[in-house]
A and B are shown apart, each in its own frame.
Chain A
Amino acid sequence: GAVVSQHPSRVICKSGTSVKIECRSLDFQATTMFWYRQFPKQSLMLMATSNEGSKATYEQGVEKDKFLINHASLTLSTLTVTSAHPEDSSFYICSASLAGGQQYFGPGTRLTVT
């Protein structure tokens, strides 16, 4: 149980375009979902926290207009990278939280912006 999926697993897009990444909790309802970004040889950096039906809370330094987060249901959150540039190329990971605080992570999405 407690499986989190992400789609797509990898995506290549052109500079200036937008790309949407989906995060789903497959077998549980997640009250809270989190989005992380990881650059090569670095640790995961928390970008934002989203609760179903409310606006996401962004960490300091993360542009909310560039990284749009929608959490429309208890099993789905989406991250849209708007007007992507090569410096946005990264590994994006989501996690979903069970009531009681246990977090389960998705497999990640590798974004390459050319």
Chain B
Amino acid sequence: DAKTTQPPSMDCAEGRAANLPCNHSTISGNEYVYWYRQIHSQGPQYIIHGLKNNETNEMASLIITEDRKSSTLILPHATLRDTAVYYCIVRVKGDKIIFGKGTRLHILP
């Protein structure tokens, strides 16, 4: 079973920041938080991952709470091309990925 809880869907206006929450209250000390997204009829795309520090790359920022029980993925300036299902996953590096239901993000023009 997936170890994360995400809202089933969210809307965000184009150009605004999209903040996608994820709860992972049973995360273990050696488990990382990973985010992937899947655009319709494509394979999942890696976005970002982190252990306990906040992380930023060219796609997004990942904010992890101090107790590591939840995190937020931030897309700073959402575009229509960011419409996708976003998956938050916790796993030990090298372990298989078990997908939950994810959050369906709709970017509104």
Whether B97 is near chain A, meaning CB under 8 Å from some CB there, is yes
Q: In the complex, A90→B27 CA distance in Å? A: 32
Q: Which of B92, B93, B96, B99 has its CB near the most chain A CB atoms (within 10 A)? A: B96
Total chain A interface residues with beta-carbon distance under 8 A: 23
List B contacts of A106 (CB < 8 A).
43
A2's nearest neighbour on chain B, judged by CB, is: B46
Whether A91 is near chain B, meaning CB under 8 Å from some CB there, is yes
Interchain CB contact under 8 A, A100 and B93? yes
Whether A25 is near chain B, meaning CB under 8 Å from some CB there, is no
- Which residue from B36, B41, B93, B101 sits with its C-beta under 8 Å from A108? B41
B85's nearest neighbour on chain A, judged by CB, is: A43
- Which residue from B42, B97, B100 sits with its C-beta under 8 Å from A103? B97
Interchain CB contact under 8 A, B42 and A107? yes
Size category of the B interface is 20 to 34
Whether B26 is near chain A, meaning CB under 8 Å from some CB there, is no
Whether A75 is near chain B, meaning CB under 8 Å from some CB there, is no
Q: In the complex, A102→B93 CA distance in Å? A: 7
A66 vs chain B, min Cβ distance (A): 20
Whether B94 is near chain A, meaning CB under 8 Å from some CB there, is yes
The A-contacting residues of B in range 26-42, CB under 8 angstroms, are 36, 38, 41-42
A42 vs chain B, min Cβ distance (A): 8
List A contacts of B97 (CB < 8 A).
34, 46, 95, 103
| Interface residue ranges, A against B (CB under 8 Å) | 4, 6, 34, 36, 43-46, 49, 91, 93, 95, 97, 100-108, 110
User: 20 more A-B contacts (CB under 8 A) besides A34-B97, A101-B94?
Assistant: A4-B43, A6-B43, A34-B96, A36-B99, A44-B38, A44-B99, A46-B96, A91-B41, A93-B44, A95-B43, A95-B44, A95-B97, A100-B94, A101-B92, A105-B44, A105-B45, A107-B42, A107-B43, A108-B42, A108-B43
| Interface residue ranges, B against A (CB under 8 Å) | 36, 38, 41-46, 87, 92-102
